[in-house]
Structure formats: structure tokens, C-alpha cells
A and B are shown apart, each in its own frame.
Chain A
């Protein structure tokens, strides 16, 4: 095939890659994007979107089940709820398909050439793509590596058969009877919770002393409580040792061996950057541990080669990659841009949800800052009561001297939508007074944010 020359070549059409390509197209940059699978990457195909679809379906099913169990506080009763899981999956796949087409359409609209195939670097400016039609050489002035990440395998539990990754969990055709989840991080808990609500008997095996160890205990306590209410067994301080016919052998915190029965084993022990198979050796980039090292403009150690998203490190979040992608496209177009974001919010779609943005109280104290903290429980929030979901709180961390907001965290049902307010406050460099003086609509859960700020100032109204 005839070689292609372009100004920008993006490798990987995940959230970071496709955002970069679309923005570049908007800016009139001659752009080619290469993707081996469908556009949208992990997020759209086997991550954020399908898992949230599944979680929503599980929530709906669980709420009808609660009504059917009788004695529902709202006085609603239901009988014989059932789920056609194949239809649930078809609905989920429909959403993914629509979004796949949406991204492809956006790329086309932006004038980006999409090439389906596997890209391998020949040198820093040349990439060879294996497509269905043969070998295609692409020469580009700038190359963006957005190859993403993949689930980590346990050596004694290779993926396959009844051992599945998050990707496999989202492709199940039936609800497992007994599901063992190895790894009590956010992916394992999100999926474990969903399958428990769909009827599976779920056991979570976590090596650390508590679930979601990256969050402070105050934030995870409501989640742990609800896991118990959902009859999910959580084994903390426990290590999966080996696969057995009837389940998985675990070394408990006490050092005893115990068998966790399971017909399906979901391994969610983390994700690793995809740095193999596309010719990283050929360009010999400086690495940062397993990740590609980048500077504050997403430039790698090689001139003209950028990297963004999960392949560049934590936090492995789609919205970080998207913001990086947009920035890189603008840098390539000649605009002056540098990564100067204050906060990359993180949402954990457990039940209840957890949102973190900026510094936690401990992180702020560790960096030697005198802080004030305000916390407001949803128990005292009218809207939370009317939803029947009063667990959780909003917490705000600010400097003691000038009240600059340093971090906002919260846990509660539906709190993911408050992440926008949290991030905006941080990015605008708001002070407690700015939040406190902003009218928050009543009755909403967002009033918890206002009250937390007032609380930090020492004069919360509703507590």
C-alpha cells in the first residue's frame, strides 16, 4: 500500500486518543488514528460505560426485589421479579454500540482518518500498521501514544474459563451463582456489588486490611456497611493462593487456609500499562517504572512523540486522558499549553458512591498545611431522606489561614454528579466563603456541599 504521511498520528482510539484526534481535526491538523478494535477504548467498550449500565440494571432489579421481599418502607409491594440477563446484556451492548458509532462519527466529522489495524513503531516518526488489507506505513511529524492499559493477571490464575477479568465480567451471558472477587479495589467492588444485586453469592478477597485502601476509612465505612447488607462476604487481609475445582483457596488474615466456593472467579487486582507489542523497543523511550515518562506537556523523551492516558501512569482515569488529549492536540497546533490542572476528580461507583477531588485531610496535613475541615452528613439532608438513602456525607478541606479549598470528598448515593461542583470549586481556586456564599438549590443533595463549607467556617445551619 502507498505510504501515508500526516502531521499527527494517534495510536489508540480510547478516550485520550480519540479526544486528541478530534481536537486536532478541529484545529485543522492532518490527523490519522489507528485502533485495532472498536473506537472508545477500555472506557467505552469494556470499562466505565458497560459497567455503569450493568450497575444501573442491578440497582433497578435490587430495588424491585426489595419491594418483593415485603415490608418496604415506602409501602410498595411487588411480586416475582425476574431478570432476563441476556436482554440486560443486549441493552448494555446497544449503548456501547451507539457510543462506538458516535465516536466514529465524531472522528469523521473532524476530518480524522481512522485506520483499523495494529500499529508498530519502526522509528520515532514511522509506524507500520497491520490492517486487513495488508501492511500500511505511516510517517508522521508528531505521534501520540495512547495505548492504554489492561487488567493484571495473577500468575496462578490465568484468565480463561471461569477465571475472568473485568472485561470478561461485562461479557457474561448469565449471572454467576457464586462469584469470588479477588481484589477489593473499586473495579472489583463495583462489579461484585452489581452481581450480588443480580443474585450472585459474592465473596471479596482483599489482601489489605480494608477495602478501597486508597481512600480514608471514613469514606469507605458506608460502603463496607452496605456490602454487609447485601450479604457480600469481605475477607480482608486474605490472599488468594490457588485455584481449586470448587473455588479458590485463600490464606486468611489469621494464616489459616480456607476455601471460597465459586463457579466464577473475577480477578481485579489492578491494571497495567500496555507497553508491549507496539514497538516500544524501537524508540527506546525513558520510562517511569512500568509507565512511559512524560513531562507537563505529555512529551516523552523523544522529540515529537507524546504519550497520554493510562500508559503514562496513575490516576488511570478516562477524564484525565481526555484532558491530556485535548491539550496535546492544542500544543501540536502551536498553542501554548501546559498541564496545570488542580484536580483530577475520581468517582467510585460503589453503593454508595465515593467522590474525591483534591487533597484529603491527611494528605493536606502531610504536606505541612494547617487545615480546617467541614463535614456534613446526608442524614441531615432533606433530599437524601426523601430518596431513602441517608448514608454518607460531604467533607471539605481548606487552608486554615486563607480558607482556600484544598480538597472535597464525599460518599453517598448519587454523589457522583456532585463531582462537577467539587472540581469547579477547586479549579476556580474557591475559598470556603465562595462555596458558602453560593446558593445551592433546595432540596438537593448539593446542599451538603454548602453545609460542609459553612461547617468549616464554624456556622453550619442544619446540624
Chain B
């Protein structure tokens, strides 16, 4: 028996540390080579860590949520030394030994399961201790659910037990009886009460007590830190303006109708990105990072537009790099690629970093007005609200127009209200007369 240490490998992308987000093993588990022992998360990606060897887990070097430095000890395993090869040698010689060795080495089926998360109440079907181990494990959790009773059969309980259950809001149909014929005793009810209020509630409205503590880890923690930083450091000014997007919508549908097979379907965003890059040409101070500790504004030449996107694991901001160098179709293609990568979880670190200005959009869920939080250390974020057809007075009559609000926030330390207003008014003008976007100045 020797000890083998698994260190946190270099998970690539030049990171020096990673956050442990998941353990798939616990101390005492037997694991096979290549079995996943856990997962760590870098700035933007989650990486699973496999075990290089067979062995038994002796020690885990971190708890979920801990930040672990690359190269530090993650897991210590006890490995069988040369035992396994010996077993192979003696395969013919001793069937019994082999069987014993197999039993030792071959892991119980449970080890491939994520033990850390596998904490549902063991729904042991009966009290009969058929399986000593499992009944020992679930001893503090007396089996209370899954009453062994046929469909529609009334629970068996004396009137006093029924009354007590009714008073406490316990649905006896959910309670297993340990008495003869499955009769529910006062002791069975005591066990339900000891288990806590969540179990065996009668239908209907009930009071709930208790607080679930959910540890904020991984992406959620990054989002939380980033939001706190941005909101506490940056004095936001939010500016909301209404944009008539009828013309740009007409143009969009015309272009979509005539697009080639290899061209992506155009959404509204490529037009907005084009309009923003044109506006940034006139106001480069909005395409910047503000290092407030150093007191320096880094005004970027390239326009890298972050697109805040909801993914299954949370908010992500894939970045359209060098938007100034892309045409409308190119922008659309890049957006499509990023959206798919973010949803599939295949976005690279490069895809997810380096934005200089950000757009946030919830599409049809966009609401009337939002107060976007700036993507620190940037200085501007443009929020897209939902588009609605509204009656607009054109001087002689009401006409139906497609109207959309833009709710945008700016770092008021470096962007004055005037600058913000000029920027948004410029975008508005470009979107309302979309030909201007494409006319070279």
C-alpha cells in the first residue's frame, strides 16, 4: 500500500488558481483510474479532474467553494501498490483469492455517483434490516415516506392519532405505520415530527418554517463579487431614451428575407452593435476601462462588445471582439457562434473576457426600463428593453410605430450626463435612420 497524491493540475488558460465547485468522491471511496474525482472552476470555465490511478480516497484537500492553487495537493489516495498485478499473475492459481481481490478492488456501484451531492433522504422501504449497511446509514432517518399502502387505501390509525395528525397538519397518507397491518402509532407520528416540518404535509396552504443555506459557489460567486464591486465602486447614471425602430426592423426583415444560405438570421443586436461602433467613433471615451486605483482611463482602440447572456449555469458575457472591423453579417455570425458556445459551455476563456463596452438584453422579457449595472471596469452599458408597437403622433394622425427603449448606465465619475445623452441620441438617430449606419462618413 502506498500513498498517491493528486495535485490540482494546470487547467490551462494561464490561471494560477481555481475554485473547487464539486467533489465526486468522499473519504473512504474506492476509485478507478480516470474516474472523475471533482471539478474546479476557473474564471470562466469548469474543468473536471480525473484520477490518474486506482485507489482509496484517504484525504480531500479542499472543501467546495475553496480556491485552490494550481499544483497544490487536492486528494491523497491509498493505492494497492503491486497488489493488483499480483492478483493478475495468480489468476489461474487461486480463484478464491481472485474473487477476494476483486471484491476489494472493484468498487461498489456507489463510487461513480457524485457522493457529495447524493444526499437525498434514503427512502428505505421498510424497517426490516435486510441490508445492515444501508439501514445503519439511514438509521437517523427513520423511513417515513413511501408508506407501503395500496393506491387509495386509507391509512390505519386510531382516532387519537388521526386527530393529532390533523392538528399538526400531517397527512397520514404519507406516513408509514410500523404497527401490525401497517397501523400508524403515536410513535410513528413522533418520528414524523422529529424529522421536521417538511415531510408529510396535508394538502392545502401551510405555514413553512426553516431556512435553507445555499453556499454561493462557482459562477454564482463570481457574479456576486463582480456585481458588488461594480455597484459599490461605480456611481451609476442611468439614461433612458425611446427609439423608433420601425425602419431598422423593416430593413432587418428585408435582409432576412433575402439572406443567403450561409448567412445567419439577423437579430436586432448586430444593428445595435454597428450603431454603437459608429457612435464610439465620435466618442471613444465611452469605449474604455477606468482603473480607479491608478487613476487612469484606458481608452481602447478596438471595440470589444460584451453581450450579457443568460445560460443554464448563470449570467455570462461572451465578447464580440473588434466589432469595428466586422460588417453587419460578420457581427451576426460572431454573435451566433458566441451564443451557441456560451449555451453549450464550450466558450473559451478568450471568448468570455476582454470586453470594453457591454450590451444587456432580455429580448421579449426586456421590460420597459432597466437600471443596468456596468461591467466593471468598463464605463458604459447599453440595455435593450422590449419592442412594442405604439401609436405615435406624426403631426396629423396617429400611426403605429415599433418603439423600443434603451436603458443605459454610465460611470458618472468619468462620463458626464451630457456625454451620455449625446451617445444615446447618436445611437437613436442611427437606428431610426439605419441607412446612416452604413454610409461612410
Distance between B296 CB and nearest chain A CB, rounded to angstroms: 68
Q: Is the CB of A428 within 8 A of B180?
A: no
Q: How far is the CB of A15 from chain B (nearest CB, A)?
A: 20
Interface hub of A337, A338, A429, A431 (most chain B Cβ within 10 A): A429
A429 contacts B156, C-beta separation under 8 Å:
yes
Say yes or no: A427 contacts B158, CB within 8 Å: yes
**B182 with A402: CB separation less than 8 A:** yes
Say yes or no: B159 contacts A428, CB within 8 Å.
Answer: yes
Q: Give the shortest distance, in Å, between B149 (CB) and chain A (any CB).
A: 11
- Residues of chain B within 8 A (CB-CB) of A429 are 156-158, 181, 183
A433 touches B180 (CB 8 A): yes
In the complex, which residues of chain B have a beta carbon less than 8 angstroms from the beta carbon of A431?
A: 180-181, 183
Q: Is residue A336 within 8 Å, beta carbon to beta carbon, of the partner chain? A: yes
Residue B221 is within 8 A (CB to CB) of chain A in the complex: no
Asked whether, in the complex, the Cβ of B159 is within 8 Å of the Cβ of A427, the reply is yes
A431 to B182, CA, bound (A): 11
Residues of A within 8 A of B180 (CB): 402, 431, 433-434
- The 8 A CB mask of B172-196 against A (1 = contact, 0 = none) is 0000000011110000000000000
B168 to chain A, nearest CB (A): 9
Residue ID in chain B nearest A404 by CB atoms: B181
In the complex, the answer to whether B158 meets A428 with C-beta atoms within 8 Å is yes
Closest to B180 in A: A431
- Which of B156, B162, B169 sits near A404, CB closer than 8 Å? B156
How many CB-defined contacts (below 8 Å) exist between A and B?
A: 30
Within the complex, the shortest CB–CB distance from A329 to chain B, in Å, comes to 15
Complex Cα spacing A340 to B167, Å = 14
CB distance from B193 to the nearest CB of A (A): 16
Q: How far is the CA of A335 from the CA of B162 in the complex (A)?
A: 14
Asked whether any CB of chain A lies closer than 8 Å to the CB of B166, the reply is: yes
Q: Which of A324-351 contact B (CB under 8 A)?
A: 335-338, 340, 342
Nearest-neighbor residue (CB-CB) of B181 within chain A: A402
A403 within 8 A of B: yes
Scan A399-414; emit 1 where CB is below 8 A from any B CB, else 0.
Answer: 1001110000000000
Size category of the B interface is 10 to 19
Q: Is the CB–CB distance between A338 and B158 below 8 Å?
A: no
Q: How far is the CA of A399 from the CA of B167 in the complex (A)?
A: 30
Within 8 A of A (CB), among B123-177: 154, 156-159, 162, 166-167, 169
State how many angstroms separate the Cβ of B200 from the closest Cβ of chain A.
Answer: 14
Option from A336, A403, A404, A427 in Cβ contact (under 8 Å) with B166 = A336
Question: For residue A402, which residue of chain B has the nearest CB?
Answer: B181
C-alpha spacing A402/B182, complex, angstroms: 9
When chains A and B are docked, how far (Å) is the Cα of A338 from the Cα of B180? 25
A337:B182 contact, CB within 8 angstroms: no
When C-beta atoms are compared, the residue in chain B nearest to A433 turns out to be B180
Note all chain B residues with C-beta closer than 8 A to A427.
158-159
Nearest residue in B to A340 (C-beta to C-beta)? B162
Question: Nearest chain A CB to B171's CB is how many angstroms away?
Answer: 11
Complex-state Cα separation, A338 to B165, whole angstroms: 12
**Shortest distance in angstroms between B232's beta carbon and chain A's nearest beta carbon?**
49
Assess whether A337 is in contact with B166, with CB atoms less than 8 Å apart: yes
Contacts of A340 in B (CB 8 A): 162, 166
* Bound: A155/B377 CA distance, A: 96
Shortest Cβ distance from B155 into A: residue: A429
CA A434 to CA B169, docked complex, whole Å: 29
CB neighbours of B156 from chain A (8 A): 404, 429
Residues of chain A lying within 8 A (CB to CB) of residue B154: 342
A428 to chain B, nearest CB (A): 5
Residue of B whose beta carbon sits closest to that of A398? B181
Chain B neighbourhood of A337, CB < 8 A: 166
How far, in angstroms, from A256 to B31 measured CA to CA in the complex? 94
Q: Which of A336, A342, A399, A433 contacts B169 (CB 8 A)?
A: A336
Contact with A along B280-310 (1 / 0, CB 8 A): 0000000000000000000000000000000
Which residues of chain A are near B158, meaning CB under 8 Å? Answer: 427-429
Mark A residues whose CB is within 8 Å of B.
Answer: 335-338, 340, 342, 399, 402-404, 427-429, 431, 433-434
**21 residue pairs from A and B, CB less than 8 Å apart:** A336-B166, A336-B167, A336-B169, A337-B166, A338-B166, A340-B162, A340-B166, A342-B154, A399-B181, A402-B180, A402-B181, A402-B182, A403-B181, A404-B156, A404-B181, A427-B158, A428-B159, A429-B156, A429-B181, A429-B183, A434-B180
Which residues of B are in contact with A by a Cβ distance under 8 Å? 154, 156-159, 162, 166-167, 169, 180-183
**A-B pairs with the 4 shortest C-beta distances?**
A402-B181, A429-B156, A428-B158, A404-B181
Given A338-B166, A429-B157: 10 more A-B contacts, CB < 8 Å: A340-B166, A342-B154, A402-B181, A403-B181, A404-B181, A427-B158, A427-B159, A429-B183, A431-B180, A434-B180
